[in-house]
Chain A
Amino acid sequence: QEEAQAIDQELFTEYKFSVDQLMELAGLSCATAIAKAYPPSSFTSQPSVLVVCGPGNNGGDGLVCARHLKMFGYQPTVHYPKRPSKPLFEGLTTQCEKMGIPFLPEFPTEAAFIDELYGLVVDAIFGFSFKGAVREPFGSILSTLERVTVPIASIDIPSGWDVEKGKADGLQPDMLISLTAPKKAAMHFAGRYHFLGGRFVPPALQEKYALNLPPYPDTDCVLQL
Protein backbone atom coordinates (compact mmCIF):
# COMPACT_ATOMS: atom_id res chain seq x y z
CA GLN A 1 0.00 0.00 0.00
CA GLU A 2 2.82 2.39 0.89
CA GLU A 3 4.59 1.70 -2.36
CA ALA A 4 1.46 2.44 -4.35
CA GLN A 5 1.07 5.70 -2.46
CA ALA A 6 4.74 6.55 -3.07
CA ILE A 7 4.39 6.01 -6.81
CA ASP A 8 1.30 8.20 -6.89
CA GLN A 9 3.13 10.90 -4.95
CA GLU A 10 6.00 10.89 -7.42
CA LEU A 11 3.67 11.08 -10.38
CA PHE A 12 2.05 14.17 -8.88
CA THR A 13 5.01 15.99 -7.37
CA GLU A 14 7.95 15.07 -9.61
CA TYR A 15 6.26 14.40 -12.91
CA LYS A 16 3.59 17.06 -12.41
CA PHE A 17 0.72 14.91 -13.57
CA SER A 18 -2.62 16.25 -12.45
CA VAL A 19 -5.13 14.06 -10.66
CA ASP A 20 -7.52 14.78 -13.54
CA GLN A 21 -5.12 13.38 -16.13
CA LEU A 22 -4.43 10.12 -14.32
CA MET A 23 -8.04 9.66 -13.25
CA GLU A 24 -9.17 10.05 -16.86
CA LEU A 25 -6.67 7.47 -18.09
CA ALA A 26 -7.56 5.13 -15.20
CA GLY A 27 -11.31 5.39 -15.81
CA LEU A 28 -10.83 4.86 -19.53
CA SER A 29 -8.80 1.71 -18.79
CA CYS A 30 -11.59 0.37 -16.62
CA ALA A 31 -14.24 0.94 -19.28
CA THR A 32 -11.99 -0.62 -21.93
CA ALA A 33 -11.30 -3.71 -19.81
CA ILE A 34 -15.01 -4.12 -19.11
CA ALA A 35 -15.80 -3.83 -22.81
CA LYS A 36 -13.27 -6.56 -23.60
CA ALA A 37 -14.55 -9.01 -20.97
CA TYR A 38 -18.28 -8.19 -21.13
CA PRO A 39 -19.04 -6.81 -24.61
CA PRO A 40 -22.53 -5.32 -25.02
CA SER A 41 -23.58 -8.33 -27.11
CA SER A 42 -22.89 -10.64 -24.15
CA PHE A 43 -25.70 -9.19 -22.04
CA THR A 44 -28.99 -11.13 -22.01
CA SER A 45 -31.03 -8.01 -22.78
CA GLN A 46 -29.88 -4.38 -22.54
CA PRO A 47 -26.22 -3.73 -21.69
CA SER A 48 -27.18 -2.05 -18.41
CA VAL A 49 -24.46 -1.51 -15.84
CA LEU A 50 -24.69 -0.20 -12.26
CA VAL A 51 -21.66 1.85 -11.24
CA VAL A 52 -21.34 2.33 -7.45
CA CYS A 53 -19.03 5.23 -6.61
CA GLY A 54 -17.44 5.78 -3.24
CA PRO A 55 -16.41 9.03 -1.53
CA GLY A 56 -12.84 9.30 -2.84
CA ASN A 57 -10.67 8.88 -5.90
CA ASN A 58 -11.91 5.34 -6.56
CA GLY A 59 -15.36 6.89 -6.94
CA GLY A 60 -13.90 9.43 -9.35
CA ASP A 61 -12.43 6.57 -11.42
CA GLY A 62 -15.94 5.10 -11.45
CA LEU A 63 -17.47 8.33 -12.78
CA VAL A 64 -14.94 8.47 -15.64
CA CYS A 65 -15.55 4.77 -16.32
CA ALA A 66 -19.32 5.32 -16.48
CA ARG A 67 -18.90 8.11 -19.03
CA HIS A 68 -16.71 5.99 -21.31
CA LEU A 69 -19.05 3.01 -20.95
CA LYS A 70 -21.78 5.27 -22.29
CA MET A 71 -19.57 6.22 -25.27
CA PHE A 72 -18.94 2.50 -25.87
CA GLY A 73 -22.67 1.79 -26.15
CA TYR A 74 -23.55 0.61 -22.62
CA GLN A 75 -26.39 1.97 -20.47
CA PRO A 76 -24.71 2.89 -17.20
CA THR A 77 -26.52 4.06 -14.08
CA VAL A 78 -24.55 5.60 -11.22
CA HIS A 79 -25.12 5.54 -7.46
CA TYR A 80 -22.98 8.20 -5.78
CA PRO A 81 -24.20 8.73 -2.22
CA LYS A 82 -21.23 10.67 -0.75
CA ARG A 83 -19.83 13.35 -3.04
CA PRO A 84 -16.74 15.43 -2.19
CA SER A 85 -17.36 19.12 -2.81
CA LYS A 86 -14.30 19.52 -5.02
CA PRO A 87 -14.38 20.87 -8.58
CA LEU A 88 -12.88 17.66 -9.98
CA PHE A 89 -15.72 15.47 -8.72
CA GLU A 90 -18.39 18.06 -9.40
CA GLY A 91 -17.12 18.30 -12.97
CA LEU A 92 -17.10 14.53 -13.47
CA THR A 93 -20.64 14.30 -12.09
CA THR A 94 -21.87 17.03 -14.44
CA GLN A 95 -20.22 15.33 -17.42
CA CYS A 96 -22.14 12.13 -16.62
CA GLU A 97 -25.43 13.92 -16.01
CA LYS A 98 -25.14 15.89 -19.25
CA MET A 99 -24.58 12.63 -21.12
CA GLY A 100 -27.88 11.32 -19.88
CA ILE A 101 -26.45 8.91 -17.29
CA PRO A 102 -29.05 8.54 -14.50
CA PHE A 103 -28.01 8.87 -10.86
CA LEU A 104 -29.96 6.67 -8.41
CA PRO A 105 -30.94 8.52 -5.24
CA GLU A 106 -31.33 5.27 -3.28
CA PHE A 107 -29.37 2.06 -3.47
CA PRO A 108 -31.52 -0.98 -4.33
CA THR A 109 -32.48 -2.65 -1.05
CA GLU A 110 -32.35 -6.21 -2.35
CA ALA A 111 -29.63 -7.99 -4.29
CA ALA A 112 -32.41 -9.52 -6.39
CA PHE A 113 -33.42 -6.08 -7.69
CA ILE A 114 -29.87 -5.47 -8.88
CA ASP A 115 -29.74 -8.89 -10.56
CA GLU A 116 -32.95 -8.10 -12.40
CA LEU A 117 -32.09 -4.60 -13.63
CA TYR A 118 -28.39 -4.82 -14.42
CA GLY A 119 -26.06 -7.22 -16.19
CA LEU A 120 -22.93 -5.99 -14.43
CA VAL A 121 -21.97 -3.98 -11.36
CA VAL A 122 -18.86 -1.79 -11.24
CA ASP A 123 -17.44 -1.51 -7.73
CA ALA A 124 -15.76 1.92 -7.52
CA ILE A 125 -16.25 2.32 -3.77
CA PHE A 126 -12.86 2.03 -2.08
CA GLY A 127 -9.39 1.99 -3.54
CA PHE A 128 -5.87 1.41 -2.38
CA SER A 129 -5.94 4.19 0.22
CA PHE A 130 -8.70 2.45 2.16
CA LYS A 131 -7.96 1.89 5.84
CA GLY A 132 -10.05 1.04 8.85
CA ALA A 133 -13.75 0.55 9.27
CA VAL A 134 -16.35 0.85 6.54
CA ARG A 135 -18.71 3.76 7.20
CA GLU A 136 -22.37 3.85 6.18
CA PRO A 137 -23.95 3.80 3.71
CA PHE A 138 -21.18 1.67 2.27
CA GLY A 139 -21.46 -1.11 4.86
CA SER A 140 -25.02 -1.87 3.80
CA ILE A 141 -24.16 -1.42 0.12
CA LEU A 142 -21.33 -3.93 0.38
CA SER A 143 -23.56 -6.44 2.22
CA THR A 144 -26.07 -6.23 -0.60
CA LEU A 145 -23.35 -6.51 -3.26
CA GLU A 146 -21.98 -9.62 -1.58
CA ARG A 147 -25.34 -11.32 -2.34
CA VAL A 148 -25.60 -10.17 -5.97
CA THR A 149 -25.27 -12.90 -8.61
CA VAL A 150 -24.47 -10.77 -11.69
CA PRO A 151 -20.72 -10.20 -12.23
CA ILE A 152 -18.95 -7.48 -10.29
CA ALA A 153 -15.94 -5.61 -11.70
CA SER A 154 -13.83 -3.98 -8.99
CA ILE A 155 -11.62 -1.00 -9.66
CA ASP A 156 -8.14 -1.50 -8.22
CA ILE A 157 -9.11 -3.22 -4.95
CA PRO A 158 -12.31 -5.16 -4.21
CA SER A 159 -14.02 -2.74 -1.83
CA GLY A 160 -13.91 -3.71 1.81
CA TRP A 161 -10.82 -5.88 1.33
CA ASP A 162 -7.67 -5.21 3.30
CA VAL A 163 -5.34 -3.66 0.70
CA GLU A 164 -2.66 -6.26 1.39
CA LYS A 165 -4.41 -9.28 2.88
CA GLY A 166 -7.76 -9.40 1.11
CA LYS A 167 -10.97 -10.53 2.80
CA ALA A 168 -12.09 -14.10 2.54
CA ASP A 169 -15.71 -13.42 3.54
CA GLY A 170 -15.97 -10.14 1.62
CA LEU A 171 -16.86 -9.18 -1.95
CA GLN A 172 -15.85 -11.78 -4.55
CA PRO A 173 -15.69 -9.90 -7.84
CA ASP A 174 -15.57 -11.62 -11.23
CA MET A 175 -13.20 -8.96 -12.59
CA LEU A 176 -10.42 -6.90 -11.07
CA ILE A 177 -8.85 -3.97 -12.88
CA SER A 178 -5.54 -3.26 -11.18
CA LEU A 179 -4.44 0.31 -11.80
CA THR A 180 -0.78 1.10 -12.44
CA ALA A 181 0.34 -2.19 -10.91
CA PRO A 182 -1.41 -5.04 -9.06
CA LYS A 183 -1.61 -4.57 -5.30
CA LYS A 184 -0.78 -7.31 -2.80
CA ALA A 185 -4.50 -8.00 -2.30
CA ALA A 186 -4.67 -9.12 -5.95
CA MET A 187 -3.02 -12.37 -4.92
CA HIS A 188 -6.29 -13.29 -3.23
CA PHE A 189 -8.39 -12.45 -6.29
CA ALA A 190 -10.28 -15.52 -7.45
CA GLY A 191 -12.45 -14.15 -10.28
CA ARG A 192 -12.24 -14.84 -13.99
CA TYR A 193 -10.73 -11.62 -15.34
CA HIS A 194 -7.74 -9.72 -14.03
CA PHE A 195 -6.75 -6.72 -16.14
CA LEU A 196 -4.00 -4.17 -15.71
CA GLY A 197 -4.87 -0.58 -16.53
CA GLY A 198 -3.47 2.91 -16.16
CA ARG A 199 -0.85 2.85 -18.90
CA PHE A 200 0.92 6.02 -17.85
CA VAL A 201 3.80 4.97 -15.64
CA PRO A 202 7.02 6.36 -17.12
CA PRO A 203 9.68 3.71 -17.77
CA ALA A 204 12.01 5.32 -15.22
CA LEU A 205 9.43 4.95 -12.44
CA GLN A 206 8.74 1.35 -13.39
CA GLU A 207 12.43 0.62 -12.97
CA LYS A 208 12.79 2.56 -9.75
CA TYR A 209 10.05 0.55 -8.06
CA ALA A 210 10.91 -2.69 -9.87
CA LEU A 211 7.34 -3.04 -11.01
CA ASN A 212 8.20 -5.69 -13.62
CA LEU A 213 5.00 -5.02 -15.52
CA PRO A 214 4.43 -7.19 -18.59
CA PRO A 215 4.25 -5.20 -21.82
CA TYR A 216 0.92 -3.83 -23.00
CA PRO A 217 -0.12 -4.92 -26.49
CA ASP A 218 0.64 -2.12 -29.04
CA THR A 219 -1.48 0.93 -28.22
CA ASP A 220 -4.00 -0.77 -25.92
CA CYS A 221 -4.55 0.87 -22.56
CA VAL A 222 -5.31 -2.44 -20.83
CA LEU A 223 -3.59 -5.78 -20.54
CA GLN A 224 -5.24 -9.02 -19.50
CA LEU A 225 -3.08 -10.72 -16.91
Chain B
Amino acid sequence: LPQAFPLPSLPRKAPTVLVVCGPAQNGAIGLVCARHLRIFDYEPTIFYPKRSPDPLYRDFTTQCEKMDIPFLSYVQLINDAYNAVVDAVLGAEAEVGEGREPCAAILATLKHIRIPIVSLDVPSGWDAESGSSGGISPDVLVSLAAPKECARRFLGRQHFVAGRFLPYDVQKKFELNPPEYPGTECVVAL
Protein backbone atom coordinates (compact mmCIF):
# COMPACT_ATOMS: atom_id res chain seq x y z
CA LEU B 1 0.00 0.00 0.00
CA PRO B 2 2.74 2.55 0.79
CA GLN B 3 4.21 1.96 -2.68
CA ALA B 4 0.90 2.72 -4.37
CA PHE B 5 -0.24 5.40 -1.92
CA PRO B 6 2.78 6.89 -0.14
CA LEU B 7 1.95 8.88 2.99
CA PRO B 8 2.82 12.30 1.56
CA SER B 9 0.55 11.72 -1.47
CA LEU B 10 -2.70 11.04 0.39
CA PRO B 11 -5.50 13.50 -0.32
CA ARG B 12 -6.87 13.66 3.22
CA LYS B 13 -5.04 15.24 6.12
CA ALA B 14 -5.12 12.04 8.16
CA PRO B 15 -3.70 8.88 6.49
CA THR B 16 -6.90 6.91 7.05
CA VAL B 17 -7.45 3.56 5.39
CA LEU B 18 -10.48 1.28 5.72
CA VAL B 19 -9.61 -2.43 5.83
CA VAL B 20 -12.60 -4.67 5.09
CA CYS B 21 -11.99 -8.22 6.31
CA GLY B 22 -13.96 -11.27 5.30
CA PRO B 23 -14.59 -14.36 7.44
CA ALA B 24 -11.76 -16.58 6.19
CA GLN B 25 -8.05 -16.50 5.37
CA ASN B 26 -8.21 -13.44 3.12
CA GLY B 27 -9.74 -11.53 6.02
CA ALA B 28 -6.99 -12.71 8.35
CA ILE B 29 -4.39 -11.46 5.91
CA GLY B 30 -6.25 -8.14 6.04
CA LEU B 31 -5.89 -8.08 9.84
CA VAL B 32 -2.12 -8.61 9.60
CA CYS B 33 -1.96 -5.96 6.88
CA ALA B 34 -3.83 -3.47 9.10
CA ARG B 35 -1.37 -4.02 11.95
CA HIS B 36 1.62 -3.32 9.73
CA LEU B 37 -0.10 -0.26 8.25
CA ARG B 38 -0.39 1.06 11.80
CA ILE B 39 3.35 0.46 12.34
CA PHE B 40 3.99 2.31 9.07
CA ASP B 41 2.08 5.33 10.53
CA TYR B 42 -1.15 4.97 8.57
CA GLU B 43 -4.45 5.13 10.47
CA PRO B 44 -6.26 1.92 9.61
CA THR B 45 -9.82 1.18 10.66
CA ILE B 46 -11.20 -2.33 10.34
CA PHE B 47 -14.64 -3.56 9.33
CA TYR B 48 -14.80 -7.25 10.23
CA PRO B 49 -18.46 -8.17 10.36
CA LYS B 50 -18.15 -11.95 10.42
CA ARG B 51 -15.26 -13.06 12.61
CA SER B 52 -13.52 -16.37 12.26
CA PRO B 53 -13.44 -18.66 15.31
CA ASP B 54 -9.93 -19.83 14.35
CA PRO B 55 -7.64 -19.15 17.35
CA LEU B 56 -4.84 -17.82 15.15
CA TYR B 57 -7.18 -15.32 13.50
CA ARG B 58 -8.65 -14.38 16.91
CA ASP B 59 -5.13 -13.54 18.06
CA PHE B 60 -4.63 -11.37 14.97
CA THR B 61 -7.80 -9.52 16.04
CA THR B 62 -6.47 -9.02 19.58
CA GLN B 63 -3.16 -7.71 18.23
CA CYS B 64 -5.03 -5.10 16.20
CA GLU B 65 -7.34 -4.13 19.06
CA LYS B 66 -4.40 -3.73 21.44
CA MET B 67 -2.75 -1.47 18.91
CA ASP B 68 -5.78 0.83 19.10
CA ILE B 69 -7.02 0.02 15.63
CA PRO B 70 -10.79 0.67 15.73
CA PHE B 71 -13.23 -2.04 14.68
CA LEU B 72 -16.42 -0.64 13.17
CA SER B 73 -19.84 -2.15 13.72
CA TYR B 74 -21.06 -0.64 10.47
CA VAL B 75 -19.57 1.37 7.63
CA GLN B 76 -20.78 4.60 6.18
CA LEU B 77 -19.44 7.69 4.45
CA ILE B 78 -16.52 5.71 3.10
CA ASN B 79 -15.65 8.28 0.43
CA ASP B 80 -15.47 11.07 3.00
CA ALA B 81 -13.59 9.37 5.80
CA TYR B 82 -10.88 7.34 4.10
CA ASN B 83 -8.15 7.68 1.50
CA ALA B 84 -8.34 4.11 0.30
CA VAL B 85 -10.00 0.79 1.04
CA VAL B 86 -8.21 -2.54 1.43
CA ASP B 87 -10.42 -5.32 0.12
CA ALA B 88 -9.60 -8.41 2.19
CA VAL B 89 -13.06 -9.91 1.94
CA LEU B 90 -12.78 -13.00 -0.22
CA GLY B 91 -9.78 -14.82 -1.58
CA ALA B 92 -9.12 -17.40 -4.25
CA GLU B 93 -10.86 -20.14 -2.28
CA ALA B 94 -14.23 -18.41 -2.15
CA GLU B 95 -17.17 -19.75 -4.07
CA VAL B 96 -18.75 -17.65 -6.73
CA GLY B 97 -22.36 -16.85 -6.07
CA GLU B 98 -24.88 -14.55 -4.63
CA GLY B 99 -25.86 -13.99 -1.06
CA ARG B 100 -23.68 -14.97 1.89
CA GLU B 101 -24.39 -12.00 4.09
CA PRO B 102 -22.71 -9.88 5.18
CA CYS B 103 -20.12 -10.21 2.41
CA ALA B 104 -22.67 -9.53 -0.30
CA ALA B 105 -23.78 -6.31 1.36
CA ILE B 106 -20.29 -4.88 1.81
CA LEU B 107 -19.28 -5.92 -1.69
CA ALA B 108 -22.33 -4.13 -3.10
CA THR B 109 -21.26 -1.01 -1.19
CA LEU B 110 -17.67 -1.27 -2.44
CA LYS B 111 -18.82 -1.43 -6.04
CA HIS B 112 -20.00 2.17 -5.79
CA ILE B 113 -17.30 3.93 -3.81
CA ARG B 114 -15.13 6.52 -5.48
CA ILE B 115 -11.89 6.16 -3.51
CA PRO B 116 -9.27 3.61 -4.61
CA ILE B 117 -9.58 -0.04 -3.66
CA VAL B 118 -6.57 -2.30 -3.03
CA SER B 119 -7.58 -5.95 -3.39
CA LEU B 120 -5.64 -8.72 -1.67
CA ASP B 121 -4.98 -11.66 -3.99
CA VAL B 122 -8.31 -11.71 -5.80
CA PRO B 123 -10.80 -8.85 -6.22
CA SER B 124 -13.52 -10.05 -3.85
CA GLY B 125 -16.53 -11.45 -5.60
CA TRP B 126 -14.60 -12.20 -8.79
CA ASP B 127 -14.35 -15.79 -9.83
CA ALA B 128 -10.71 -16.75 -9.24
CA GLU B 129 -10.36 -18.19 -12.72
CA SER B 130 -12.43 -16.14 -15.10
CA GLY B 131 -12.95 -12.82 -13.37
CA SER B 132 -16.29 -11.14 -13.26
CA SER B 133 -17.92 -8.19 -14.86
CA GLY B 134 -20.24 -6.34 -12.54
CA GLY B 135 -18.02 -6.92 -9.55
CA ILE B 136 -15.76 -4.47 -7.76
CA SER B 137 -13.10 -2.61 -9.74
CA PRO B 138 -9.94 -2.33 -7.70
CA ASP B 139 -7.32 0.29 -8.44
CA VAL B 140 -4.51 -1.89 -7.14
CA LEU B 141 -4.20 -5.67 -7.02
CA VAL B 142 -1.71 -7.40 -4.73
CA SER B 143 -1.32 -10.98 -5.90
CA LEU B 144 -0.09 -13.23 -3.12
CA ALA B 145 2.77 -15.60 -3.96
CA ALA B 146 1.79 -15.61 -7.65
CA PRO B 147 -0.94 -14.00 -9.80
CA LYS B 148 -4.19 -15.94 -10.09
CA GLU B 149 -5.92 -16.62 -13.39
CA CYS B 150 -8.44 -13.83 -12.87
CA ALA B 151 -5.60 -11.30 -12.66
CA ARG B 152 -5.59 -11.25 -16.46
CA ARG B 153 -8.89 -9.38 -16.25
CA PHE B 154 -7.50 -6.78 -13.86
CA LEU B 155 -7.81 -3.31 -15.34
CA GLY B 156 -6.62 -1.13 -12.48
CA ARG B 157 -3.58 1.07 -12.16
CA GLN B 158 -1.04 -1.13 -10.41
CA HIS B 159 -0.47 -4.84 -10.00
CA PHE B 160 1.97 -6.05 -7.35
CA VAL B 161 3.13 -9.51 -6.38
CA ALA B 162 3.86 -9.98 -2.68
CA GLY B 163 4.67 -12.87 -0.38
CA ARG B 164 8.30 -13.60 -1.03
CA PHE B 165 8.40 -17.03 0.55
CA LEU B 166 8.04 -19.59 -2.21
CA PRO B 167 10.95 -22.04 -2.26
CA TYR B 168 12.51 -22.47 -5.71
CA ASP B 169 11.43 -26.06 -6.13
CA VAL B 170 7.80 -25.15 -5.46
CA GLN B 171 8.07 -22.36 -8.03
CA LYS B 172 9.51 -24.79 -10.57
CA LYS B 173 7.07 -27.58 -9.80
CA PHE B 174 4.05 -25.38 -10.44
CA GLU B 175 5.77 -23.41 -13.23
CA LEU B 176 5.03 -20.17 -11.48
CA ASN B 177 7.75 -17.95 -12.98
CA PRO B 178 7.32 -15.16 -10.47
CA PRO B 179 9.13 -11.90 -11.20
CA GLU B 180 12.43 -11.12 -9.52
CA TYR B 181 12.06 -9.25 -6.30
CA PRO B 182 14.48 -6.30 -6.07
CA GLY B 183 17.07 -6.56 -3.28
CA THR B 184 15.41 -7.40 0.01
CA GLU B 185 11.93 -6.16 -0.98
CA CYS B 186 8.95 -8.39 -0.31
CA VAL B 187 6.80 -6.65 -2.95
CA VAL B 188 7.41 -6.22 -6.67
CA ALA B 189 5.40 -4.17 -9.17
CA LEU B 190 4.49 -5.98 -12.36
Contacts and interface: CB of A to CB of B under 8 A. Distances in A.
- Do A and B pair up? The answer is yes
B126 to A, nearest CB: 27
Contacts of B38: 202-203
B59 A203 contact: no
B67 A219 contact: no
Interface residues of A, number: 22
Contacts of B63: 15-17
Interface in B19-41: 38-40
A15 B59 CA distance: 8
B167 A15 contact: no
A204 B40 contact: no
B1 to A, nearest CB: 9
Given A15-B62, A15-B66, A36-B184, A99 B168 contact: yes
B164 interface: yes
A98 interface: yes
Contacts of A98: 167, 169
A95 B167 CA distance: 9
B68 A204 contact: yes
A218 B2 contact: yes
B99 interface: no
Interface residues of B, number: 22
A207 to B, nearest CB: 12
The DSSP consensus for interface residues of chain A is: loop
B179 interface: no
Contacts of B58: 16
Given A98-B167, A99-B168, A204-B67, A199 B62 contact: no
B174 interface: no
B66 A14 contact: yes
Nearest to B63: A15
B88 to A, nearest CB: 18
A71 B40 contact: no
B134 interface: no
B97 interface: no
A64 to B, nearest CB: 11
A203 B67 contact: yes
B74 interface: no
Contacts of A95: 167
B160 to A, nearest CB: 13
Contact of A32 (B6, B56, B184): B184
A141 interface: no
Interface of A: 14-18, 31-32, 35-36, 71-72, 95, 98-100, 199-200, 202-204, 218-219
A-B pairs with the 7 shortest C-beta distances? Answer: A16-B59, A16-B62, A202-B67, A32-B184, A99-B167, A35-B184, A15-B66
Given A71-B164, A219-B2, 5 more contacts: A14-B66, A16-B66, A71-B165, A72-B184, A98-B167
